Chains A and B, each alone.
Chain A
Amino acid sequence: MKGFLRGIVKENPVFVLYLGLCSTLAITTSINNALGMGVCVIAVLICSNAIISAMRHIIPDEIRIPVFIVIIAALVKCCALLLQAYIPSIYSAMGVYIDLIVVNCIVLGRAEAFASKNGIGASIMDGLSMGLGYTFALLLISLIRQIIATGAIALENPMSGATIFNLTLFPSEFTVSMFGTPTGAFLTFAVVAAVFTVWTKKDSKKAGEK
């Protein structure tokens, strides 16, 4: 359980390790996109970790990175084709960023650092934990950006486009549309990362005193 929570807070791949930044910044304009991306990455991460862990004894050490990348690329392409067929609205909203999960450092990083050295069960758990940490980061940033940029929290059903949930917090005259642009992404991320630094430092100080 401890190892499971590790990926979400202490070793959060986004805020602490600064991995997978490109997609984190680009996709967090709305909660819907963040959720879609998070689910895709969790699926790819679990599958790639499981496959690589199962094959870890037969992959030659010298060419392991190309092998990993081919496995990941195949999985991502499957994911993209499935999305295109079943949830086209999410597919078109996320566009090229789905294909770019291939080069998301988190997926390759976990394959190299964890799955190639550990058993299948542990690798699947690690994939789930890191994937959830990534999704948590996406949701946090997209929530902040969406509230400031539109003044509301909205969630849509990706299959039908119907609104599931729409809560207006303040009228649109007081919104800062800049937070929907790249500038807002950088600013939000910087502040959240700083808060995380304070938080994790405090934790390690406490552990040191004990």
Chain B
Amino acid sequence: MESITLFISAVVINNIILTHFFGMCPFLGVSKKMSSAVGMGLAVTFVIFGSSLLTYGLYYLVLVPLQIEFMDLLTFILVIAAFVQFVEMFLKKNSPALYKSLGIYLPLITTNCAVLYVAQQNISQGFNLIETIIYSLGVPLGFTMTLCIMAAIRGRLESADIPEPFKGNPIALIVAALMAIAFSGLGGLV
């Protein structure tokens, strides 16, 4: 039961974009087309899940026994950077179309705060292995969901009459604000 609560809270209530603002760059950058939004979501899910498990293992099996916990940030970011490189090579070979549409945002997953945040959170919240798995699946799922909703709304925005200065990112942020209001209504769920 507790794991279900953790999952729902990670996906909806503590939605990573709308309550913690992590992953804003791809949120604004890749949410113009549905197909790239889904692709980005899947890539981020894979990176977060893989790197979280790796960093979790590294932290408890290497850093803690050696008593060098203060090296956590350095270790985590290196693991994440290597993982993203791996995903990039994989996509380039197997799905060149998706690789092209993600463009600059693919290598930037390294600097997507969400990835490092989940890795940090797993340690600082003292999650056990099962909780880590649930949390590292729930957070990117929430990310993907928000990204897809945003892509759908932005598709409609294209035909809307928007004041000149608000075109582009400002209107996307207003939409995000409205989404944040809607999502805060789900706060009583858990």
Contact = CB atoms under 8 A, between A and B. Distances in A.
A69 B79 CA distance: 11
A18 B169 contact: yes
B57 to A, nearest CB: 19
Interface string B69-109: 01001100110011000000000000000000000000110
Contacts of B116: 99-100, 102-103
Contact of A77 (B24, B74, B113): B74
A190 B171 contact: yes
B70 to A, nearest CB: 7
Nearest to B19: A182
A82 interface: no
Contact of A190 (B19, B124, B177): B177
B177 A103 contact: no
A67 B18 CA distance: 32
Q: Give the contact-size bracket for chain A.
A: 35 or more
A195 to B, nearest CB: 7
A65 B81 CA distance: 9
Contacts of B163: 194
B173 A186 contact: yes
B88 to A, nearest CB: 12
Nearest to A21: B24
A109 to B, nearest CB: 9
Interface in B37-95: 70, 73-74, 77-78, 81-82
Contact of B165 (A22, A77, A182, A195): A195
Interface in A2-52: 18-19, 21-23, 25-26
Contacts of B120: 96, 99-100
B8 interface: no
Contacts of B180: 181-183, 186
Given A103-B113, A191-B170, A193-B169, A21 B28 contact: yes
Interface of A: 18-19, 21-23, 25-26, 65-66, 69-70, 73-74, 76-77, 80-81, 96, 99-100, 102-105, 108, 181-187, 189-191, 193-195, 197-198, 201
Given A22-B22, A65-B110, 15 more contacts: A19-B25, A21-B25, A22-B20, A22-B25, A25-B24, A73-B74, A77-B74, A105-B108, A108-B111, A183-B177, A186-B173, A186-B180, A187-B174, A187-B177, A195-B165
8 contacts: A18-B25, A21-B25, A65-B107, A81-B70, A96-B117, A105-B111, A182-B19, A183-B177
